[in-house]
Amino acid sequence: MMQLLYLDPGSGSYLVQVIIAAVLGVIFYFKSGWNWIKSFFVKTPPKKEEEENESAD
Amino acid sequence: MNQLINHHPASFRDPAGFIYEQNGTVYRFVSTAYASHYSLLMDSGLAAELLKKNLLLPFTESTDNHTGRADWYKTLIPQQLPFFSYAWEWSFSQLKDAALATLAVCKLALQKGMILKDATHTNMQWVDGKWKLIDTLSFEKYTAGESWVAYRQFCECFLNPLLLAAYSGLEVNKLLLSYPDGVPASVTSKLLPFKTKFNAVVYLHVHLQAKLAAKPAGEKKNSGKQLSQKNIEQILESLRSCIESLQLPQKTTTWNNYYNETILSETYLSEKKNLVSSILANQSYNSVLDLGANEGEFSLLCREDAQVIATDFDSACIDSLYKRLKKEKRKNIQPLVLDLTYPSPAMGWVNNERKAFFERTKADVCLALALIHHLAIAKNISLQQLASFFASICNTLIIEFVPKEDLKVQSMLHWRKDIFEEYTLEQFEKSFADFFILEQKTVVNGSQRSMLLYRKK
């Protein structure tokens, strides 16, 4: 495993990701709560799958 | 029995394999060190899925071990690329789309139990109208609890220059020429406007990262928390939605309205288009280099099966050409930002890793329309220098001569001394006759400009 780790991930990169993940987790938590409340009042259309780079040409 | 192989000078960092050339074909050597990852890439269905979504450069496997190396595992034959461009030649939208494609690749990889172990712009190319990952060995097995090893590289190569373009009006191509390995968070944090500190996503990915990277290693305590796959997916999603929302600040440059606001008549433009079309129709060519392409009006006149490289030094023009090509699904034109007086240099280890622009580019036909007065008058390049330059890059040259009497040239000379006594059509033809044979000369109706068709001697 380690022999393939040829890229220096950068000092603090792990810590940054842990903090970002924690903050995003909180945002996501509140967002889903808010969406749950919103769903009582607003009818949301079904989410479309992203197809930006998908066209079969 | 180590046969002579042409090891690609930019392919040495990853122990998983390397690129080499043999008899004009580019191959990828896969080492036994990468065997388990390669099997996972193929067996998990990830490669097939990426190929289906046009996110990975197609490749086939070969059983030939040209290298004779003992650690040989597989030989791959990737789709051969006629031309390779670098991020210091891309406009904002090109880098943005390359970033989004990289994130899409990483997201799909995670779903199949793998992750991108590097995320650099040099691994992305615009091929057949799609941004594709060209490095098949960029994947590794994802281990639960680990962070995304290429996160910092992704931020430096994509996110930071894009943020600096959107918030501070800097050009991504110039930023990445100064920082070919990506713009560090510390630099980005200093250059971004203060208000971005109140944008949660920008704060986390840039300002916080800059702060943490500045701390001495000893002070960084690991919280002991492990990252889940969901955490990484959320990081990828936050990067995606941030980059997706970035826009270039709206401004009109000197050139991106050239044909709308120009003092030149409409007759001139349509006459010029007809003339260039008719000249092109009589040429046999596979590749075209359009220098000073502006928004690509004339590149679009080239045959759709020819490989066209359209360059301009104005990144706004190249950006709108790129958007137009994407919309119209024109796949044969590569729009690139290039300052002809400072073309992309050779860079990297022993100047051999990244090739200079004209080392990568030769064309059957070169278009130089409404260009040479900018080089001759604005940049003081002599007609002899111009003639020998064009002779070194093409066989057929379609060039427009803009005389001194032309209003454009007059306005260029308005504020400076006219030291260009040699700048006449007669002198121009004399200089070019050293390298080329003149085949056609036509005055473009509605102007005093001449269109000349030259064939290299």
pLDDT band at A12 (very low <50, low <70, confident <90, very high): low
Task: Report ipTM (2 d.p.).
Answer: 0.76
Tokens 């309205």 appear where? B257
Partner-chain residue, chosen from A3, A17, A53, that has the shortest CB–CB distance to B151 = A17
- Domain match, B205 and B130 both: yes
> Domain count of chain B?
3
Q: Which of B49, B78, B107 finishes a domain?
A: B78
Confidence (pTM): 0.91
Instruction: State the pLDDT confidence band at B70, using cuts at 50, 70 and 90.
Output: very high
How far apart CA B368 and CA B53 sit, in angstroms, is 37
Q: Which two tokens stand for residue B441?
A: 């000369």
Could you give the percent of chain B with pLDDT greater than 90?
A: 79
pLDDT higher for A37 or A55? A37
Quote the pLDDT of residue A50. 47
B127-182 per-position pLDDT tens digit: 999 999 999 999 999 999 999 999 999 999 999 999 999 999 999 999 999 999 99
Size of interface A-B (CB pairs under 8 A): 108
H or E element: which one contains B74?
Answer: strand B72-78
Q: Does A10 have pLDDT greater than 70?
A: no
Residues of B in contact with A11 (CB under 8 A): 212-213, 217, 220
| Residue A56 pLDDT level (bands cut at 50, 70, 90) | very low
In this prediction, residue B220 carries a pLDDT of: 52
Interface test with B, best of A20, A32, A54 (most B CBs within 10 A): A20
Residue B414 shares a structural domain with residue B267:
yes
- B150 neighbors A14 (Cβ within 8 angstroms): no
Whether residue B22 is found in the same domain as residue B117: no
Same domain, B318 and B182: no
User: Is there a contact between A5 and B54 if contact means CB atoms under 8 Å apart?
Assistant: no
Both tokens of B362, joined, read 């030769």
Residue B252 has pLDDT above 60, yes or no: no
- The domain that contains B333 carries what CATH number? 3.40.50.150
What is the residue extent of each domain of chain A?
16-42
pLDDT interval class at B7 (50, 70, 90): confident
Q: Using 50, 70 and 90 to split pLDDT, how confident is the model at B14?
A: confident
Inform me whether the pLDDT recorded for B104 exceeds 60. yes
The one-character DSSP state at B343 is: P
Specify whether B162 is located in the same domain as B58: no
CB atoms within 10 A of CB A8: 10
Contact B101 A53 (CB under 8 A): yes
| Structure tokens that stand for A6 in this block | 């040829």
Task: Show which residues on chain A lie within 8 Å of chain B, measured between beta carbons.
Answer: 1, 3-7, 9-25, 27-28, 50, 52-57
Q: Which residue reads 């502006």 in tokens? A: B294
Residues B141 and B239 in one domain: yes
How would you label B184-215 residue by residue, b for 16+ Cβ within 10 Å and e otherwise? Answer: bbebbbebbeeebeebebbbbbbbbbbebbee
Chain B hits for A28, CB-CB cut-off 8 Å, are 234
List Cβ neighbours of B272 (8 Å cut-off, separation of 6 or more).
B369, B400, B444, B451
Which structural domain range is residue B100 located in? Answer: 87-245
B408 pLDDT more than 50? yes
Kindly state whether residue B1 falls inside one of the protein's structural domains. no
Nearest-by-CA chain B residue for A24: B234
pLDDT for residue A55 is more than 70: no
Contact A56 B104 (CB under 8 A): no
Tell me: do B299 and B321 sit in the same domain.
yes
More confident residue, B374 or B263: B374
On whether both B294 and B371 belong to a single domain, the answer is yes
Do residue B333 and residue B239 come from a single domain? no
Where is the domain boundary, B36, B51, B78?
Answer: B78
Residue B253 domain-assigned? no
Residue of A8, A13, A47, A54 for testing the chain B interface, max B β-carbons within 10 Å: A13
What residues in A contact B54, CB-CB < 8 Å?
53-55
| pLDDT band, residue A57 (cuts 50/70/90) | very low
Tell which wins on pLDDT, B167 or A3. B167
Using a CB-CB cut-off of 8 Å, the residues of chain B touching A25 are 231, 234
Residues B40 and B124 in one domain: no
Q: What is the mean pLDDT of residues B254-280?
A: 78
Which of B54, B232, B234 is nearest residue A53 as measured by Cβ atoms?
A: B54
Work out whether the CA dihedral B161, B166, B169, B172 comes out positive or negative. Answer: positive
Residues whose CB falls within 8 Å of the CB of residue B456, separated by 6 or more in sequence, listed in order: B391, B394, B395, B396, B397, B435, B436, B437
Q: Where are the beta strands (DSSP E) in B345-449?
A: 363-368, 394-401, 436-443
Same structural domain, B284 and B421: yes
Name the more confident of B409 and B2. B409
In chain B, what percentage of residues exceed pLDDT 70?
94
Give the model's pLDDT for residue A42: 72
User: How far A49 CA lies from chain B's nearest CA (Å)?
Assistant: 12
> What integer pLDDT is reported at residue A51 of this predicted model?
47
Residue B209 counted as domain residue: yes
Mutate to test the interface with A, among B227, B236, B244, B331 (most CBs of A within 10 A): B227
Q: Which residue in chain A has the smallest CA separation from B231? A: A21
B251 domain residue, yes or no: no
Least confident of B55-64, B264-273, B352-361, B391-400: B264-273
**A18 → chain B, closest CA residue:** B227
Domain stop point among B26, B56, B78: B78
Query: How many secondary structure helices (H) and strands (E) does chain A include?
Result: 1, 0
Q: Are residues B146 and B295 in the same domain?
A: no
Is residue B435 over pLDDT 90?
yes
